[in-house]
Amino acid sequence: MDKDTYILAIESSCDETAAAVMKNGREVCSNIIFSQIELHKLYGGVVPEIASRKHIEKVNQVIREALDSADCTLNDMDAIAVTYGPGLVGALLVGVAEAKALAYASGKPLVGVHHIEGHIAANYIENKDLEPPFMCLVVSGGHTHLVKVMDYDSFEIIGRTRDDAAGEAFDKVARAIGLGYPGGPKIDALAKEGNRDAIAFPRAKVDGNEFDFSFSGLKSAVLNYLNQCEMKGVEINRADVAASFQYAVIDVLTTHAIHAVKASGLNKLAIAGGVASNSSLRANISEACKREGISFYHPSPIYCTDNAAMIGVAGYYSYIKGVRHGLDLNAVPNLKIGERL
C-alpha cells in the first residue's frame, strides 16, 4: 500500500488562529481552533491590529496542540499548507511567516492555499464520495459566491454579491437589533422564536447577471423598518425581525443556488462558509434539493466557520498536483478565487 500523506495546515486570515493535521486529504487527525471572538466582541467587530497580535501570541501553541493531538511530529508531515489570502493582511502574514519558518527549518514543501477554496474543500471531509464537478454556494463574512467547482483546482464564479456579503448583512442587522457580534449565530437562534412572514422585507433583483446577489437594500429596509417603528412608538418584535430578515436572505440564496445548479446541468450542490452553518439555510436548501432531485452536501458547522482542517484538504489536493510555493510566498489580502500566485 502507498505511504500515507500528512499535511500540517495553518489558518489565520481573520479572527481564528487554527492548525490541523490531515491524513490523505480527507481524514482529520486534529483540528485546533483558537477563536478570538471574545476579544473582538467588545468592539462590535474584528479589529485587525488586535487580531494580528493575538495570532502571533497563539500560533505556536495551536500548531503544537495540533501535532500533539494527532500524535505526530513535524517530521511526519509531507507538507505545510497555509492560507495566504484573501483576508486581513496583518492576520494572514502571521500564518504565512510561521509556515515559511517551519518549511525552512524542516525542509518540507510549502503549499499556499486560497481561503475560499479551503471553505469549499471542507465539504470533502465528511462527504467521502463527493467529487467535482458540483456547484458550491460560498457564504461567509466576507464572500457570497456561486462557484462551479470543475475540478479540485479549477473554479468558475457563476455569481457574486454586488455589495454586502451575506454574513456581513447578518452581522449588521444583528447589531441594529442589539444582538452583538458575531450576529449570524444570534440571529439564527432568535429567528426560531419569530415569524418569518411577519414583515415583508425585499428580495433584491440585480440587473445583468441573474446569479448575482445584493444585500445592501435588504439591510437598509431592516434599518428603515426599525426607525419607523421607533418614530411611531411601536414596540419592535426582535424575533420577528430576525426571522423575516433571515428568511429574505435564505430565500434568495436558495433560489439562486438551485437555479445555478439546474442551469449548469449539474446535479450536486454544496454549501460552504460561516453562514452555511445557519440551521434554516441548511433546512431550506435541503428541502429544495429534495424537490428538485439534486444531491445536497454540507460540512458540519465546525468545518463551516474558519478552521485549518479545510485548508489541509485544499492543501492536500494542491500538493498531490505538484503545487509548491517558495519562501518568497506573501500574504495576498485580495487574492482572487482560482488565482495562483
CB 83 to ligand KG4: min, Å: 10
In the bound state with ligand KG4, the residue whose beta carbon lies nearer, of 87 and 159, is 87
CB 230 to ligand KG4: min, Å: 25
| CB contact at 8 A, 113 and 152 | no
Distances (CA, A) of 227 to 24, 191, 223: 54, 20, 6
Q: How many CB atoms lie within 10 A of CB 125?
A: 23
In the bound state with ligand KG4, the residue whose beta carbon lies nearer, of 127 and 305, is 305
What does the block give as the cell for 16? 481564528
**Pairing mode of beta strands 154-160, 144-151:** antiparallel
In the bound state with Zn ion, the residue whose beta carbon lies nearer, of 8 and 33, is 33
CB 11 to ligand KG4: min, Å: 10
Which of Zn ion, ligand KG4, none interacts with 95 (beta carbon under 5 to 8 A by kind)?
Answer: none
CB 264 to ligand KG4: min, Å: 24
CB 272 to Zn ion: min, Å: 9
What does the block give as the cell for 165? 456579503
Site residues, ligand KG4 (CB under 6 A): 14, 140-142, 167, 170-171, 182-185, 188, 273-275, 277-278, 305-306
For position 140 contacting Zn ion by CB under 5 A, the verdict is yes
DSSP code per residue over 52-94: HHHHHHHHHHHHHHHHHHTT--GGG-SEEEEEEESS-HHHHHH
For position 306 contacting Zn ion by CB under 5 A, the verdict is yes
In the bound state with Zn ion, the residue whose beta carbon lies nearer, of 123 and 140, is 140
Beta-carbon contacts of residue 37 (< 8 Å; ≥ 6 apart): 15, 181, 182
CB 203 to ligand KG4: min, Å: 18
Question: How many separate helices (H) and strands (E) can be counted in the chain?
Answer: 12, 10
Q: In what order do the strands lie in the sheet with 6-11?
A: 27-35, 16-23, 6-11, 79-85, 110-114
Q: Please, which of residues 64-83 interact with Zn ion by CB under 5 A? A: none
In the bound state with ligand KG4, the residue whose beta carbon lies nearer, of 6 and 215, is 215
In the bound state with Zn ion, the residue whose beta carbon lies nearer, of 261 and 310, is 310
In the bound state with ligand KG4, the residue whose beta carbon lies nearer, of 23 and 336, is 336
- Site stretch for Zn ion (CB under 5 A), options 21-29, 42-50, 144-152, 302-310: 302-310
CB 337 to ligand KG4: min, Å: 13
CB 83 to Zn ion: min, Å: 9
Task: Determine if residue 26 is left, alpha or beta; phi over 0 gives left, psi from -120 to 50 gives alpha, anything else beta.
Answer: alpha
The one-letter amino acid code at 180 reads: G
For position 144 contacting Zn ion by CB under 5 A, the verdict is no
For position 318 contacting Zn ion by CB under 5 A, the verdict is no
In the bound state with ligand KG4, the residue whose beta carbon lies nearer, of 80 and 120, is 120
Which of ligand KG4, Zn ion, none interacts with 278 (beta carbon under 5 to 8 A by kind)?
Answer: ligand KG4
CA distance 43 to 175: 11
What does the block give as the cell for 338? 482560482
* CA nearest neighbour of 271 among 131, 143, 136, 147: 136
Binding site for Zn ion (CB under 5 A): 140, 306
